[in-house]
Structure 1
Amino acid sequence: MAKDNKQNSAQTTDVAQVNTEQLQKRIAEQTQTISQLTARNEELAAELDKLKRANAALQAEISTPKAAAPAPRGTHIRVAALSNGYFRGGVQFSQVPQELEIAKLSKEQLAAIRGDERLVVVDL
């Protein structure tokens, strides 16, 4: 019986040792994961700050009053965008100039197109 108790005690010690090693390994893995997540969180926080600054600059640009657009001189305007795929006043623009008939544009569309700094507008 004493021999059985010693054997059970040894087995219990072995199991406890294995469990302790497994727990230590899991703790190390979780610590590493926490470190990685903390680093990623800091990266995202920096990116968020950058986006907030960019948003503030754009909001300031939007709220800055623009000079009134001059009255049209002809029946058409030629418009080109500084970048392709740009929309203003419901019209898509590209770097290739296109002609638009002023009579087919609403006052709001014409004002939006003329007032946009990302478009080059020439009266024809």
Structure 2
Amino acid sequence: MPTAETLEKFIARVESNFHAEALAEFYTEDSTMQENQSPPRAGLAANIARERATLARASAVRSQCVRPAFVQGDHVAIRWIFEFDWLDGSSSRIEEIAWQRWSGERIASEQFFYDPAQMAPKKPAP
């Protein structure tokens, strides 16, 4: 179970848009991440690489934790809002729930729940 201090540090890191760094600092080496009902991605290195690839497609990212985060034993639920300005001039606003299982002070598994329609980039109005 994460301490309140560790959870706050994790949230602050993500809200500061240090997403890949947050993975390196707060996830286990064998951690898994899963998008909705897709098969989980295994391994910290693979998940960091995927995060970096996503962020490389954006000119700006804004990340917000919608409080409160809920903790029950080793499980944490966080509601996030992410706004992406993509390099092609489009944008996306994604609201999701992250369901995490912590192993001590690190995240061992995480599943994201969101509407996939949010992922479609929106072009700016003419």
TM bracket (short chain): under 0.3
- Answer 1 or 2: which has greater helix percent: 1
- Answer 1 or 2: which has greater strand percent: 2
TM-score normalised by the chain length of structure 1: 0.24
